[in-house]
């Protein structure tokens, strides 16, 4: 079974290109910095994270292009794929990528540092300042809203 689940921070904005041909497809590449837990390096190296190359295709690539930004903490799942190529100097280079199947945000909007931007968008869309961020990722409902109008009990 080849399955990997990673949570880490984006080291930079995803680099997205589109394939050529009949149906152009987004191909997003990004690097996740994944913290190492527990063990300190015995060689004296200060590296406490692994930098994992990730590739997302098609709709997942479009999602990464639209929503992922440097520093965001994301959760991905996919499979490991290895390969090799010969560089300009004639040396064989081995690569390892995670081919992304699923990806999502690992932090809430409020803790991601974009809290103000999301909150302003919500207020503009509703045209009513009674809809406020409750601080836990949910929106406060205005007083006087009837329970019968809500889609749940």
Lowest mean pLDDT among 27-41, 60-74, 102-116: 102-116
What DSSP letter does each residue of 19-63 carry, written as one string? --SSS--EEEEEEEEEE--SPPPTTS----EEEEEEEEEHHHHHH
Q: What is the predicted pLDDT for the residue at 52? A: 96
Within the chain, all domains assigned CATH 2.40.50.140 are found at 1-107
The matching CATH number, chosen from 2.40.100.10, 2.40.30.170, 2.40.50.140, 2.40.50.100, for 1-107 is: 2.40.50.140
End-to-end CA distance of the chain: 43
What average pLDDT does range 126-147 have in this prediction?
49
């Amino acid at each position: 079974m080849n399955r990997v689940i990673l949570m880490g921070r984006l080291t930079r904005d995803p680099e997205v290109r589109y394939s050529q041909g009949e149906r152009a497809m987004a191909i997003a590449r990004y690097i996740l910095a994944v913290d190492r837990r527990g063990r300190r390096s015995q060689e004296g190296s200060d590296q406490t994270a692994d930098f994992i190359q990730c590739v997302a295709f098609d709709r997942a690539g479009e999602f990464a292009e639209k929503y992922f930004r440097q520093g965001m903490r994301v959760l991905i799942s996919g499979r490991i794929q290895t390969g090799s190529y010969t560089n300009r100097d004639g040396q064989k280079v081995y690569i390892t990528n995670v081919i992304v199947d699923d990806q999502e945000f690992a932090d809430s909007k409020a803790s991601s540092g974009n809290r103000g931007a999301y909150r302003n968008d919500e207020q503009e869309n509703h045209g009513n300042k009674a809809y406020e961020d409750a601080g836990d990722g949910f929106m406060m409902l205005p007083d006087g809203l009837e329970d019968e109008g809500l889609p749940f009990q």
